[in-house]
A and B are shown apart, each in its own frame.
Chain A
Amino acid sequence: MTIYDLTLAELRTKLDNRELSAVEVAEAYRARIAATDQDVNAYITVCDESAMAEAKLADQALAAGEIAPLTGLPIAAKDIFNTAGLKTTCASRILENYIAPYDATVIARIKEQKAVITGKLNMDEFAMGSSNENSAFGATRNPWNLNHVPGGSSGGSAACVASRQAAAALGTDTGGSIRQPASHCGVVGLKPTYGRVSRYGVIAYASSLDQVGPITRDVRDSALLLQAIAGHDPADSTSIDTPVPDYQATLTQELTGLKVGLPAEYFIDGLDEDVRRAVEQAVATYKELGAEIVEVSLPHTSYAVACYYLIATAEASSNLARYDGVRYGVRTDQAENLIDMYMQSRAAGFGAEVKRRIMLGTYALSSGYYDAYYLKAQKVRTMIRQDFLDAFAKVDVLLTPVAPTPAFTIGEKTNDPLQMYLSDIYTIPVNLAGTCAMSLPCGFSAAGLPIGLQLIGKPFEEATILRTAHAFEQATEWHKRKPEF
């Protein structure tokens, strides 16, 4: 078996048994990235030198018997995470040469375990997009078919894991940005409950929705990586101080008696037939596994996309105000005065979609419009959250599609933002509700593109969706397929 085909758990065993060294693993990945990334464009920055140095340190730790769960494991991070001494661009021109002076909490946590950071991954600029086409450094391509998008905004993360350019990756999910690309690339993506993982050092898009999560080859790895990053962080006031359970411990529990809800509003016109068939097949599998299938309703689903594009853009308009050319990032040298400097720097530094969302959000917060847009959206958000709480009074998990279609082709939706926004219709409500959800492979389209299944859990019950996902994975072979690449 090739080194880069091994999962985190398999690598762990081989590193612990000394069948492999961390340096050998890092070298295998370096070669793999060099051979494949010109096609995929998953990386913005490849960490050749620092990765090798980290691998050496990991080997020393292994030799000394100081082994943490991630010691020596090659993990890549979306370029939204601050990484001390490395470029952190958020795929934006405005931060093209920005070198972060500090580590995000999640980066510090995996570094503490002596994981090897292979590089920084491509994404939609400032996490705004569903296709990775909004990167200032070129679109990432889907490893299953290079003419297709990998999804977004963590498209680089999903494509990287699918194309074996890292064993696992960290992404962020604001409206589906982990789950949708995971679905399009045939890998496992988990968005934890809001507050489960620290946001400190994660470049903010929409602060009340952003959440960090793992993208991995299988469910066990997802549990492993979540375990490493989850938990309260005093530096993030919105992170919750609640104990983190042992996710591995409950992973293999049986599903007998588990109540799985199917929200009626998620199986409607516009859902691709291949996707519908694959998800229905998954429902049948769960029945066989002893789960009880219950139809439920999430009545405010149709308002979710509109609600999201008001709240997320409002927060973004404020979050992105700091990119003003004063202290760091792009600054024009043509400006006549202060206002000019702001306008020209921001005009030059931000891409079209980012500008569109800043304008939308600024409008939604403006005096005279605030009540009709921002405030109304907040009220709708409360109702959407209540929908989920009501459904969870009846069932343990919800089962839905991740995206209405498999990965679309590059350029297909770039001129139709509204169509692009609708590709997140099944993932956005989860962020608005603040709960947890994951995407795992459940089939392929006729064209050979992966299809994902979404499992949504109660707040802070990541353990439940992980074991629900794990049972499905054990019963199916979908996750074992890899792109011929």
Chain B
Amino acid sequence: MTQPYETVIGLEIHAQLTTNTKIFCGCSTEFGKTPNSQTCPVCLGLPGALPVLNRQVVEFAIKTGLATNCQIAPRSIFARKNYFYPDLPKGYQISQFELPVCEHGWQDIELEGGESKRIGITRIHMEEDAGKLIHGDTPEALGTSLVDLNRACTPLLEIVSEPDMRSADEAISYLKKIHQIVVYLGVCNGNLEEGSFRCDANVSVRPYGQAELGTRAELKNINSFRFIKEAIEHEVERQIDLIESGGKVVQETRLFDSNTGMTRSMRGKEEAHDYRYFPDPDLVPLVIDDSWIDAVRSSLPELPDAKRKRFIEKLGLPEYDAEVLASDRLLANYFDACVTHAKEAKACANWIMGEVLRKLKETDTLIGEVPISPVMLAELLDRIADNTISGKIGKTVFEKMWQTGRGADELIESEGLKQVTDTGAIETLVDEVIAANPDQVAEYLGGKDKLIGFFVGKVMQASQGKANPGMVNQLLIKRLKGN
């Protein structure tokens, strides 16, 4: 039986921005400080305090908008979203409603089988975060709650997609793209666990062919890519089961419980707030002129998709290599810098994806802290390419470079690792090996050609790895066949 229902998903992503200070005051945004130590009259909502917009937040919003093909509004408005909650000090959240800073964008995602699909981005707006409630859990403190306003007024971008996704996989693919972009731009640290990057999913189903959308449920509280997939899949199943058994989906907010993998109702539409949005009279309309947009545009880094394309088309990398190297901005920068100084792009890719990434993982180091600079790695690769050392010795040199921070040439010289290319010296070793292994020589001559590897290994061993393997091979065959 074919699946008669189509899944429709739209995502609302909240990205906490990496500005040093809050969106409407000068308090620090640093995570994990003593409760309420990073507050002032503005973010505490004291009587008489007024917000002043942090321009860096606007810059980050423009960056994100440009990176996701949005139009940047020449004039946008901050609005108050009114509701009461103890973590919301003013009794309203300053957000954007009718005129957000970015609109009408899109992001392409790759589907399985190499096709790509365009996901619409309805809008991106700036807003302030709320504080945090800490509920008493000791017997004496039970029933009491404490308020920490350190997070209050930290800047968020809300990125709202069109309901363009048709499966949990598409949603994840889109989410990962946006995640990669905001991290690439440096506007968000992308940490899902700390809640720096959060996502609400609007999920509905409808019979295939039906034009209008089904009633949607909003899934909240999902803090990992895996859970988002689980939550969506569970919700789709729940809605289909409900409809199949004659029920109706109601518009509501549902919480995902990662322990059970289920969603449960949090509040229905009838309990939905009337937020009484209206323009915040404390903030003037935000005017963004073309020169500001141009300045931000010129500061944009090359984005992952463009980078991947360049790696494939200009540098001739395989798709897989391009994907891995482009996935992280610093890694890609490392690769790019290495390529500029080395002879072969593919060798750079191999070494970075192999040795460098392995070493990073082993030593729990970040790409920004690698003791071997891209120029140094390029030098090493060139020594391999020009046969000064073999690939195998190269790995030894790499290891020593990592430990000492010294250059390849210097190490090759001081450790005497230079490849032996003196024919006479290699011939001596070849003769010794042949003389020492008469049985194998007999077998080889009897037609067991594969034994050449055995002889090469022996000679290389005798040369302590320094003999040029190509020459060894040549000379061995010459001698053996000549016998």
Contact = CB atoms under 8 A, between A and B. Distances in A.
A237 interface: yes
Interface string A309-343: 00000110110111010111000000000100010
**Best-surrounded residue of B41, B86, B282 (most CB of chain A within 10 A):** B282
Interface stretch (A52-60, A270-278, A279-287, A364-372): A364-372
Contact of A370 (B45, B80, B86, B278): B278
A237 B48 contact: no
Contact of B86 (A202, A236, A338): A338
B44 A208 contact: no
B78 to A, nearest CB: 10
Interface string A225-237: 0000000001111
B86 A321 contact: no
Contacts of A453: none
A237 B84 contact: no
B66 interface: no
Main SS at interface, chain A: loop
Interface in B84-106: 84, 86, 89-92
Given A208-B281, A318-B91, A321-B90, A342 B48 contact: no
A75 interface: no
**Best-surrounded residue of B47, B53, B282 (most CB of chain A within 10 A):** B47
B283 interface: yes
Given A207-B282, A237-B51, A322-B45, A366 B274 contact: yes
Given A238-B284, A315-B281, A321-B90, A366 B50 contact: no
B147 A207 contact: no
Given A101-B41, A318-B91, A366-B274, A201 B84 contact: no
Contacts of B370: none
Contacts of B90: 321-322
A436 interface: no
A47 interface: no
B49 interface: yes
Contact of A203 (B47, B147, B274): B47
Nearest to B280: A207
A365 B47 contact: no
A95 B48 CA distance: 13
B281 A238 contact: yes
Interface residues on B, range: 20 to 34
Contacts of A144: none
A237 B53 contact: yes
Nearest to A98: B47
Contacts of B283: 237-238
B473 interface: no
Nearest to A375: B278
A90 B47 contact: yes
Contact of A238 (B44, B84, B91, B282): B282
Interface string A292-304: 0000000000000
Contacts of A324: 84, 86, 91
A104 interface: yes
Interface string B16-53: 00000000000000000000000001001111111111
Interface string B256-291: 000000000000000000101110011110000000
A82 interface: yes
B191 interface: no
A202 B47 CA distance: 8
Contacts of A201: 41, 48-49
**Best-surrounded residue of B80, B92, B281 (most CB of chain A within 10 A):** B281
A342 B277 CA distance: 21
Interface of B: 41, 44-53, 80, 82, 84, 86, 89-92, 147, 274, 276-278, 281-284
25 contacts: A100-B46, A100-B47, A101-B46, A104-B48, A199-B50, A200-B50, A201-B41, A201-B48, A201-B49, A202-B48, A204-B282, A207-B281, A234-B52, A237-B282, A237-B283, A238-B281, A238-B284, A314-B278, A321-B84, A322-B89, A322-B90, A324-B84, A327-B147, A365-B82, A370-B276
